[in-house]
Amino acid sequence: MKNEILNVSQSSIAQALAADYFCIYYVDVETDRFIEYSASDEYRQLGLPQSGDDLITFARNSFEALVHTDDQEMFLDTFTKENIIRNLDRHGIFTMTFRMMFQGTPVYVHLKMTRMIEKEARHVVIGISSVDEQMKARRAFDDVHHASITYSRVAQALAGDYFSIYAVDPDTDHFIEYSADHEYEKLGVEKEGDDFFETSRRNMSRLIYEEDRDRFMGTFFKEKIMSILERDGRFTMKYRLMFGDDPVYVSMKATLLEDEHGRHLIIGTNNIDAQMKREQEYQKKMAEARTSARNDFLANMSHDIRTPMNAIIGYANIARDNIHDSDAVMNAIERIGSSSHFLLSLINDILDISKIESGRMTLNAAPCDLNALFRRIEDITALQAKDKSLQITYDRSTLRHAFVIADELRIEQILINIISNAIKYPPAGKTVDLICEEQGETDMGKIRYRFIVRDTGIGISEDYLPHIFESFTREENTLTNRVQGSGLGLAITTRVVELMGGTIEVQSRPGEGSVFTVVLDLAPAEAVQAETGETEQIDLSGRKILLAEDNMINAEIAAMVLKQNGMTVTHVMNGREAVDTLRMDQSYDAVLMDIQMPLMNGYEAARAIRSCAAEYYQNIPVIAMSANAYDEDVRECLKAGMNAHIAKPFSPDELLSLLHQWIRRNDMSGRRGAE
C-alpha cells in the first residue's frame, strides 16, 4: 500500500509539473526512439507525430516549419546528437532557447533535456516550455537599458560642444536647462521656468550684441519658430552674445522631438566664434585677392584700351592734317584699322569671359571640315609670324578623318588664342609649330584629336605657370608688360576646351619655350558638301536697301558702304518706321535691322514684317546688324524671323557677302514682290 501511494503521488506530481510544458518526450539515447508523454492543445495543433524512431533527425528535417527564420542557423548548429550527448555527459543537462512558430506567430520556448535516474542511464526526458513573456521582457529591458546608456553618453558628448541646452515643453512653455558650461553660467540666465520664449527675449535684450539685437528680437517668437520647425524640421540662427566686453559668435539650433513621451523642443547654443573668425579672415583674403585681381585687370585694360585708342585718334589727326598726301593717309588708315581690330578683340574677350562665368556660353555643333579650318588658321597666323620674323610650321599629316561634328568657330578660337600668344611673345628668329594628331577612336565612338602648339620663345616662369589659365592674369616681367593683352585669352581658351569636354595642358621652361596640348574627342561626320552656286556674286547695283538704325554715325557708315557698291538706301530711325515703309513700298530687296531702337525694336519689327499676309513680307531678307553679339542674341534674331546676323562693328566684306547670299536666294525663288 505504501508503494502504491508513493507511485500515485509521483504520478500526480509528474502530471502537475507537465502542465507547465508545451510537451514532454521520452527519448532512448542509444536508439533515438521517442514517445510523447504529454502535450498541450496548442502544441498538438502543430500536427507533429507522438512517437518515432529518430527525434534528432526528425527535428532537424522539420526545422524550417518549426523554427523562426532568424533562429534556424543557431538551431541547426546546436541541436546535434554529438553536442547533446557531450553536454549530458559533462553537465547532466542540455538546454537551448529559440523561437517556435505557432500558427505564424513566433513564441520563445526553452528546451530542457535531462537524463533519467536509472542504472543504464539510457533515457532522457525532453521538456519544451514557453518563456515568451520572460524573453520579451528581458529584451525590452536590455533595449531600454542599452538605449539609455547610449543616449546618455551621446547626449553628454554632444553637450560638451554647447554653451547651453534647454528642453522646452512647446504646449506649456515650461523649460529646464539640460546642461550649461562655466562661461554660460556667468551670464545669469534662468535654469528653469514657465515661459521660455519671453524669458529668453528678456535675457537676450541685455546679453545680445547690439548689431544683432533687432534681428534676433524680430525672429525669436514661438509662433515663428514652431512654424519653421514644422516646415523644415529644424531652426538655426547665428548671432553674437556679449561675454564681458567681447562679442562671441554663437549658433542656436532648435529641434522638435516627438516620441511616446510627448513633444519636446530641444534648443542648444554652441560657440562658433573661432569658426566664424576663420571664415571672416578667409573671406577678407578672398575679397582682397578679388580686389587686387580687379585692380590689376582694370590697370591692364586701361593701358591696353588707351594704347589702340591713342593710335586711332593720333592717326586720324595725321590723316586729316595730310589729306592731300595719299601715301600718308593710306598709312594712317591702315594703322587705324589695325588698332581698331585689336580694340575689338579686347572687347570680344571681355564678352566671352563674361558669358563663360555666367554660364551663358553655349556650343553650336555642326558638320565642319578640319582641313578647311586649318587652312584658315594657317592663312591668319602665317602673316602674323611673318610680321614678327618668326618661322612657323604646320603638320596635319596624321589627319585621316577631317569631317566632324563640332563648333568650328570655338575650335578656331582655341587654336588662334594659343598660337597668337606663341607668336606674340618670342623675339625674332624663334620657331612656332602647330601640329594636329589624330589618335584613333574612343570607347564612345568619337575620334580623339590632339592639337599641339610648340614655340622656342621666352617660356613661362615656374611661379606663374599654375596661374596661366586664370582670368585677368598676366605674367609680370619686362617683356610681357610691353605686350598688349587682356590676360583673358588663355582663360577663355581653357573654359571653352572644358565646355567641349576636352583637356588643355602646358609645359614650359623659362628661356626654352612652351608646349600647349589640347585634346578633343569629336564625333565623325559625313563629308561636308559645299553649296554650289550659293557664293556666286551678283550685281548689287540698283538694289534698294531699307536701313533701320537710330544711331546717325552707324547709319552714315552703313549707308556709305552700300552706296559705294551701287545700292540705294532709305534710312529710318526705328522699327515702327521700317514696318510702315515696307507696307507702303514693296520694292525693297533687303532690310538691315538694328535691334535696340525706340518705339519698336528690331525683334518686334521683324515679327511684324513676317506677320503680314503677302508673300513678299515672308521672303524679303531681313539681316540683323547689331552690337548685341552674344550667341543668344543671334538665336533671338533668327527666332524673330530674321535671316542672318552681323555684329557691329561690321566688316564691309562680310556685310556685302550676306547681301549677295540672301538677295540672290530671294531672286532665285522668283518671289520678288514688286517688279
Q: Render 419-483 in DSSP notation, one character per residue.
A: HHHHHHSSPTT-EEEEEEEEEEE-TTS-EEEEEEEEE-SS---TTTGGGTTSTT----STTGGGS
- Residue 134's pLDDT band, with cuts at 50, 70 and 90, is confident
Model pLDDT, residue 7: 44
- Calculate ∠ Cα 310-315-321, nearest 5°: 130
599 pLDDT more than 70:
yes
Over residues 297-311, the mean pLDDT reads 69
61 pLDDT more than 90:
no
Distance CA 487, CA 669 (A): 48
Find the helix or strand (DSSP H, E) in which 9 lies. Answer: helix 2-18
Lowest mean pLDDT among 77-91, 543-557, 661-675: 661-675
SS3 130: strand
Over residues 309-325, the mean pLDDT reads 85
Task: Kindly indicate whether the domain formed by 544-669 is annotated with CATH number 3.40.50.2300.
Answer: yes
Domain boundaries, the chain: 20-132, 160-271, 290-357, 366-524, 544-669
- Residue 534's pLDDT band, with cuts at 50, 70 and 90, is very low
Distance CA 179, CA 269 (A): 11
Q: Which residue type does 116 have?
A: M
265 pLDDT more than 60:
yes
Task: Kindly indicate whether the domain formed by 160-271 is annotated with CATH number 3.40.50.1980.
Answer: no
> Considering the chain, what percentage of its residues have pLDDT values greater than 70?
82
Distance CA 634, CA 538 (A): 26
Q: At a CB cut-off of 8 Å and minimum separation 6, what does 511 contact? A: 458, 459
**Grid coordinates 617660356 are at which residue?**
459
Distance CA 55, CA 61 (A): 10
Model pLDDT, residue 159: 56
Residues facing residue 469 across a β-bridge: none
CB 538 within 8 A of CB 563: no
Q: At a CB cut-off of 8 Å and minimum separation 6, what does 92 contact? A: 114, 115
**Domain 20-132 identical in fold to domain 160-271:** yes
633 pLDDT more than 60:
yes
Model pLDDT, residue 486: 46
8 pLDDT more than 50:
no
Backbone angles phi, psi at 457, to 5 degrees: -85, -145
**What is the chain's mean pLDDT, rounded?**
81
CATH number at 20-132: 3.30.450.20
Task: Kindly indicate whether the domain formed by 366-524 is annotated with CATH number 3.40.50.720.
Answer: no
Distance CA 7, CA 356 (A): 102
- Residue 546's pLDDT band, with cuts at 50, 70 and 90, is very high
Q: What share of the chain is helix, strand, coil (3-state, %, to 5)?
A: 45, 25, 30
Of the candidates 23, 25, 5, the one whose C-alpha atom is nearest the C-alpha of residue 13 is 5
Note the pLDDT tens digit of each residue in 459-514: 888 777 777 777 555 555 434 444 444 456 677 788 888 888 999 999 988 888 89
Note the pLDDT tens digit of each residue in 344-382: 766 766 666 666 665 666 777 888 899 988 888 887 788
- Residue 6's pLDDT band, with cuts at 50, 70 and 90, is very low
Distance CA 373, CA 47 (A): 88
Question: Taking every pair of C-alpha atoms in the chain, what is the biggest distance, in angstroms?
Answer: 160
Q: What is the 3-state secondary structure (H, E, C) of 208-250?
A: ECHHHHHHHHCCCCHHHHHHHHHHHCEEEEEEEEEECCEEEEE
Note the pLDDT tens digit of each residue in 41-55: 888 888 888 888 888
Of the candidates 411, 660, 422, the one whose C-alpha atom is nearest the C-alpha of residue 521 is 411
Q: How far is CA 152 from CA 76, 254, 261, in A?
A: 39, 19, 16
More confident of the two residues 175 and 569? 569
Distance CA 343, CA 308 (A): 6
24 pLDDT more than 80:
yes
Q: Which three cell numbers stand for residue 483?
A: 605686350
Note the pLDDT tens digit of each residue in 167-214: 888 888 888 887 677 777 777 888 888 888 888 888 888 888 999 999
**Grid coordinates 550649461 are at which residue?**
180
DSSP letter string, 285-354: HHHHHHHHHHHHHHHHHHHHHHHHHHHHHHHHHHHHHTTT-HHHHHHHHHHHHHHHHHHHHHHHHHHHHH
SS3 395: strand
Distance CA 238, CA 269 (A): 9
Model pLDDT, residue 297: 66
Model pLDDT, residue 480: 43
Q: Which three cell numbers stand for residue 484?
A: 598688349
- Residue 592's pLDDT band, with cuts at 50, 70 and 90, is very high
CATH number at 290-357: 1.10.287.130
Lowest mean pLDDT among 79-88, 95-104, 532-541, 612-621: 532-541
- Calculate ∠ Cα 92-95-101, nearest 5°: 150
Model pLDDT, residue 587: 92
Over residues 89-118, the mean pLDDT reads 86
Q: What is the 3-state secondary structure (H, E, C) of 548-604?
A: ECCCHHHHHHHHHHHHHCCCEEEEECCHHHHHHHHHHCCCCCEEEECCCCCCCCHHH
389 pLDDT more than 50:
yes
Q: Which range among 222-231, 241-250, 292-301, 444-453 has the greatest average pLDDT?
A: 444-453
Q: Which three cell numbers stand for residue 550?
A: 537710330
- Residue 11's pLDDT band, with cuts at 50, 70 and 90, is low
Model pLDDT, residue 4: 42
Query: What's this model's pTM, rounded to 2 decimal places?
Result: 0.45
250 pLDDT more than 80:
yes
- Residue 147's pLDDT band, with cuts at 50, 70 and 90, is low
More confident of the two residues 4 and 441? 441
576 pLDDT more than 90:
yes
Residues facing residue 394 across a β-bridge: 434
More confident of the two residues 163 and 443? 443
CB 229 within 8 A of CB 256: yes
Number of other CB atoms surrounding residue 590 within 10 Å: 23
